[in-house]
Amino acid sequence: MSRKRNNFLVVLLSFAEKPYPRNVQKYYSIGFVVKYVLKELSHYLNATFQSSLCTDELQLDSLSRNIRMIVISKYNLLDNYARTEPLLTSDFLWFVPKANQISNMNVFTKVFNYDVWIATIVVFICVWLMWFLIISRNGGFTFDKLCVSFLNVWSLTICGNVVSQLPRSLALRIILLFYLIYAMQMQFAFTSDMSTVLTTPRYDFQIRNLDELADSQLPIYTLPLMKTMFFSENNTDRKLYTKLQNSIHGVTAYEIRETLITGVSTVRLQLPFDHYFTTTFNTFLSRMVESGILEKHTNDIYHQCLVRVMKVPAMAQDDELTLKHVTFIFAFLGFGLFTGCVVFCLELVLHKYL
Burial class (CB in 10 A: 0-12, 13-18, 19+), 262: middle
CB 321, CB 190: distance < 8 Å: yes
Choose between 163 and 350: higher pLDDT. 350
Per-domain residue ranges of the chain: 8-90+267-309, 92-97+207-263, 107-202+320-353
Q: What is the pLDDT of residue 182?
A: 60
Q: What is the pLDDT of residue 98?
A: 72
pLDDT at 23 over 50: no
Q: What is the pLDDT of residue 2?
A: 40
pLDDT digits (tens, 9 = 90+) for 64-88: 555 554 544 444 445 555 666 666 6
Region of residue 2 (phi > 0: left; psi between -120 and 50: alpha; otherwise: beta) = beta
pLDDT at 174 over 50: yes
Q: What is the pLDDT of residue 75?
A: 46
Element (H, E) at 148: helix 143-158
pLDDT digits (tens, 9 = 90+) for 241-273: 888 888 877 766 544 444 444 455 566 666 667
State mean pLDDT over 53-58: 66
pLDDT digits (tens, 9 = 90+) for 286-338: 887 778 777 777 777 766 655 554 444 443 344 555 666 667 667 776 787 78
Element (H, E) at 337: helix 327-353
Pick the CATH number of 8-90+267-309 from 3.40.50.720, 3.30.470.20, 3.40.190.10, 3.30.450.20: 3.40.190.10
CB 260, CB 225: distance < 8 Å: no
* C-alpha span between 16 and 73 (Å, rounded): 12
State mean pLDDT over 105-116: 61
